[in-house]
């Protein structure tokens, strides 16, 4: 008998002739390649039709009885029955009644116990459901806080987690396969924002369910998040900056449109909001020491070192660690020490040390919660390193001042200029701040044969020169003018370094202004804009030795060259505002 209809009720009517007898079904499965081939195809059509059309409430109860009978046949299912198992897995048992779902879990338990081979297909199918909605459900994403979803959606995804948990419980060795399925299951970057939101939300839920694999899950998740961040173009972020300026503060919260027009920025904002809300919840738990937040921070470190710091051009994902550091002083200190060790470790790749110093200086410049003494201590330590590097260079017979040879030196100098410029108001407001700066002997640094100002980003160079000239502690314009004249007579530029460009080292500062709509509420209270001063005199007990200009340690740690630069009269200098907001000199009204 040939069956043409795809209606599940018609298929059930045909198959009910045999009353779904387990003995008959066993015979069909054993002989599906010979005399029972047609009946086997009817079984496939039945489950494929359910997967396509769903079932009514009456058919729900009947399907529950069918699952009870299929549980007895689990030992009969072999690899040759893969099509049958896939057809059954394609049915959406997660939206049916609780009784039917329980019978489905029992069937899966028997199936995986008898045939662990099917665990791959089960995991792939269930992980893919992380990014789907149950039928007749919609998702409201036009809101600031995203912690809750509709009850039907929550129950649907909880059942998916139950099925995955049962598979992991039965076959513990399948955890690496689960990690692989999670990595492959992330939506393509051009898929809808709802898929990205749902999948990210469910992957974050796995962190609490599988704490032993949390570091692996976070590494996979943060790699995906870094790809989303890299896709957010500068033009989109500039548009967001304009939109923020046009916000009407008098509007009620209920009228705010949280949707970002650019899909890539919207996807990034949604996922980052989920992550930061998750971190906020961890911070509220103070039951144990170390806290859950500190465990979470340690689990993110492999991804931070291998993915985040080594990816140039990221704009927002690094604020995950910025926010964690603001919640715990221990995390802020641990992050400071980790970056410092990466900078000073001679066995680390040079590119990692360069990125580490950019992260360190940007972190110290932008964070309101890190004490000023950390910035002073870091500048003092790096200046000692710079002076030693210059001394070692002067002892060599001849090494050209090429960017590719001394790139780490130039990057460190540029970042120190950046940090001093950013925090100069607070530093010079200290009782011995000016004396401390003079003891650093920056005159020797800028006038050395390595000539760091030549390779410095133009906006940093000009602001550093202006700030130090106005304070009467350093005069850089002689070196700057000499470099400008030198460029006129310079031959063809090097393929790697171009000292005449605005950014010859192609450096960037990770913690530049945050512009995403929803998630910026976590960062804005902690973030320092350029020109924003938070004056705090260091207590006498915490005074850092580097601020004491006449101390023996301070004098012996640097070269004894004196600063003979004279300070000319004050003049006002206006710098053209860059086209992108992500520059040091974002001008505030």
Fill in the DSSP letter of residue 367: B
Other C-beta atoms within 10 Å of 22: how many? 15
Per-residue pLDDT band for 186 (boundaries 50, 70, 90) equals very high
Residue 90, pLDDT above cutoff 80: yes
**How much of the chain, in percent, has pLDDT values that exceed 90?**
51
Other C-beta atoms within 10 Å of 103: how many? 22
Residue 287, pLDDT above cutoff 80: no
**What SS3 state is found at 569?**
coil
CA distances from 469 to 10, 213, 434, 568 (A): 89, 54, 12, 8
Mean pLDDT of 64-69: 86
Mean pLDDT of 30-48: 78
Q: Given this model, what pLDDT does residue 240 score?
A: 62
Is residue 512 within 8 Å of 421, Cβ to Cβ? Answer: no
Is the model more confident about 575 or about 407?
407
| Rounded distance between C-alpha atoms, residue 258 and residue 262, angstroms | 12
Other C-beta atoms within 10 Å of 168: how many? 19
Per-residue pLDDT band for 554 (boundaries 50, 70, 90) equals very low
| Rounded distance between C-alpha atoms, residue 277 and residue 284, angstroms | 11
Find, among 266, 272, 359, 259, the residue nearest to 308 by Cα. Answer: 359
Is the model more confident about 204 or about 403?
204
Find all residues with CB under 8 Å of 588, minimum gap 6, and list them. Answer: 529, 530, 531, 532
Residue 258, pLDDT above cutoff 90: no
Per-residue pLDDT band for 431 (boundaries 50, 70, 90) equals confident
Tokens 């007749």 sit at which residue?
Answer: 136
Q: Given this model, what pLDDT does residue 498 score?
A: 46
The pair of three-digit structure tokens given for residue 269, joined into one six-digit string: 């904002």
Q: 539: phi > 0 → left, psi -120 to 50 → alpha, else beta; which? A: beta
CA distances from 442 to 319, 372, 484 (A): 32, 20, 20
Is the model more confident about 385 or about 69?
385
Residue 161, pLDDT above cutoff 90: yes
Mean pLDDT of 370-387: 94
Per-residue pLDDT band for 552 (boundaries 50, 70, 90) equals very low
Give me the chain's average pLDDT, please.
Answer: 81
Residue 276, pLDDT above cutoff 70: yes
Q: Given this model, what pLDDT does residue 236 score?
A: 61
| Rounded distance between C-alpha atoms, residue 307 and residue 297, angstroms | 15
Residue 79, pLDDT above cutoff 90: no
The pair of three-digit structure tokens given for residue 351, joined into one six-digit string: 């590119």
Mean pLDDT of 119-127: 95
Q: Given this model, what pLDDT does residue 583 score?
A: 36
Mean pLDDT of 243-263: 60
């Amino acid at each position: 008998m040939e069956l043409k209809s795809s209606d599940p009720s018609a298929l059930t009517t045909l198959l009910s002739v045999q009353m779904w007898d387990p003995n008959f079904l066993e015979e069909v499965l054993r002989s599906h390649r010979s005399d029972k081939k047609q009946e086997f195809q009817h079984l496939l059509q039945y489950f494929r039709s359910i997967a396509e059309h769903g079932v009514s409430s009456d058919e729900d109860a009947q399907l529950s009885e069918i699952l009870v009978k299929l549980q007895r046949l689990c030992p009969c299912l072999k690899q040759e029955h893969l099509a049958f198992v896939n057809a059954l897995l394609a049915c959406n048992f997660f939206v049916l009644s609780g009784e039917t779902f329980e019978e489905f879990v029992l069937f899966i338990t028997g199936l995986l116990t008898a045939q662990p081979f099917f665990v791959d297909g089960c995991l792939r199918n269930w992980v893919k459901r992380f990014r789907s909605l149950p039928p007749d459900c919609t998702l409201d994403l036009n809101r600031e806080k995203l912690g809750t979803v509709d009850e039907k959606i929550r129950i649907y995804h909880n059942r998916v987690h139950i099925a995955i948990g049962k598979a992991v419980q039965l076959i513990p060795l399948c955890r690496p396969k689960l990690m692989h399925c999670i990595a492959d299951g992330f939506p393509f970057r051009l898929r809808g924002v709802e898929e990205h939101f749902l999948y990210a939300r469910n992957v974050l839920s796995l962190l609490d369910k599988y704490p032993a694999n949390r570091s692996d899950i976070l590494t996979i998740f943060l790699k995906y998040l870094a790809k989303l961040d890299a896709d957010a173009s500068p033009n989109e972020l500039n548009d967001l900056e304009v939109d923020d300026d046009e916000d009407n503060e008098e509007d009620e919260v209920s009228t705010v449109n949280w949707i970002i027009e650019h899909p890539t920025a919207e996807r990034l904002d949604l996922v980052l909001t989920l992550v930061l809300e998750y971190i906020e919840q961890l911070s509220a738990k103070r039951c144990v020491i170390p806290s859950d937040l500190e465990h979470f921070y340690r689990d993110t470190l492999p991804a931070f070192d291998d993915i985040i710091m080594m990816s140039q051009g990221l704009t927002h994902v690094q604020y995950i660690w910025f926010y964690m550091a603001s919640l715990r002083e221990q995390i802020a200190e641990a992050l400071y020490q980790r970056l410092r060790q990466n900078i000073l470790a001679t066995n680390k790749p040079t590119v990692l040390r360069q990125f580490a110093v950019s992260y360190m200086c940007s972190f110290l410049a932008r964070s309101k919660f890190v004490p000023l003494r950390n910035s002073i201590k870091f500048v003092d330590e790096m200046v000692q390193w710079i002076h030693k590097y210059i001394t070692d260079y002067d002892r060599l017979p001849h090494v050209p001042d090429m960017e590719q040879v001394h790139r780490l030196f130039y990057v460190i100098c540029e970042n120190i200029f950046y940090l001093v410029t950013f925090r100069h108001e607070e530093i010079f407001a200290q009782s011995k701040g000016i004396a401390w700066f003079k003891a650093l002997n920056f005159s020797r640094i800028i006038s050395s044969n390595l000539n760091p100002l030549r390779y410095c980003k133009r906006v940093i160079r000009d602001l550093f020169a202006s700030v130090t000239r106005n304070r009467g502690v350093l005069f850089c314009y002689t070196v700057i003018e000499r470099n400008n004249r030198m460029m006129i007579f310079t031959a063809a530029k090097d393929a790697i370094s171009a000292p005449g460009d605005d950014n010859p080292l192609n450096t960037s500062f990770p913690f530049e202004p945050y512009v995403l709509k929803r998630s910026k509420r976590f960062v804005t209270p902690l973030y320092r804009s350029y020109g924003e001063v938070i004056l705090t005199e260091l207590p006498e007990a915490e005074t850092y030795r580097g601020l004491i200009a006449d101390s023996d340690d301070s004098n012996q740690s640097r070269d004894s060259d004196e600063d003979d630069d004279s300070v000319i009269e004050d003049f006002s200098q206006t710098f053209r505002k860059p086209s992108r907001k992500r520059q040091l000199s974002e001008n505030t009204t």
